[in-house]
């Protein structure tokens, strides 16, 4: 597992397919701030709540200069179903081989009900206009997280 990112680190570059199979790169967003959030699985209750919260606040975030990208290990087809079912407006990217998840330290050992297993660590990384990590938040909660980010960023 990669070391957790810290403020000031260069955000790992990535290019992944979105829900329509179009390639999207972090470099495409240079000059804008980007909120990259990692979530375990599309079409699950917590991940749906989080994606809907980001969609509900997308105008506010983009108006403040932030683009929002959600990344999960799901295939693009599942992301398309998730986007369409929930009317999501955020960019959803597929990382089925988990390389980007691992490079951002958003995949690793988790504990649940006394069991230890490997999985997606719900995380949010705010990347500045220059591609550096502004803040890195790990083990975040699905509910209330977007409101906390907005408050912390002073939006």
Query: Exposure of 3 by Cβ count < 10 A (0-12 exposed, 13-18 middle, 19+ buried)?
Result: exposed
CA of 110: how far to CAs of 36, 37, 113, 127, 145, in Å?
20, 17, 10, 25, 19
Q: How many CB atoms lie within 10 A of CB 75?
A: 14
Residue of 47, 51, 92, 94 marked catalytic:
47
- Residue 47 annotated as catalytic: yes
Angle value at C-alpha 88, between 83 and 94, nearest 5 degrees: 50
Q: Which tokens in the block code for residue 43?
A: 């079409």
Residues assigned a catalytic role: 47
């Amino acid at each position: 597992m990669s070391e957790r990112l810290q403020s000031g680190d260069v955000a790992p570059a990535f290019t992944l397919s979105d829900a329509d199979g179009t390639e999207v790169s972090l470099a495409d967003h240079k000059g804008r701030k980007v909120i990259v959030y990692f979530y375990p699985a599309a079409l699950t209750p917590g991940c749906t709540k989080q994606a809907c919260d980001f969609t509900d606040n997308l105008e506010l975030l983009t108006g403040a200069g932030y683009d929002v990208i959600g990344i999960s290990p799901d295939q693009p087809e599942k992301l398309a179903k998730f986007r369409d079912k929930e009317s999501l407006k955020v960019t959803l990217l597929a990382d089925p081989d988990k390389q980007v998840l691992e490079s951002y330290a958003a995949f690793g050992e988790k504990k649940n009900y006394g069991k230890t297993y490997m999985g997606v660590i719900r995380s949010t990384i705010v990347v500045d206009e220059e591609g550096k990590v502004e803040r890195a938040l790990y083990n975040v909660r699905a509910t209330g997280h977007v409101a906390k980010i907005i408050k912390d960023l002073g939006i």
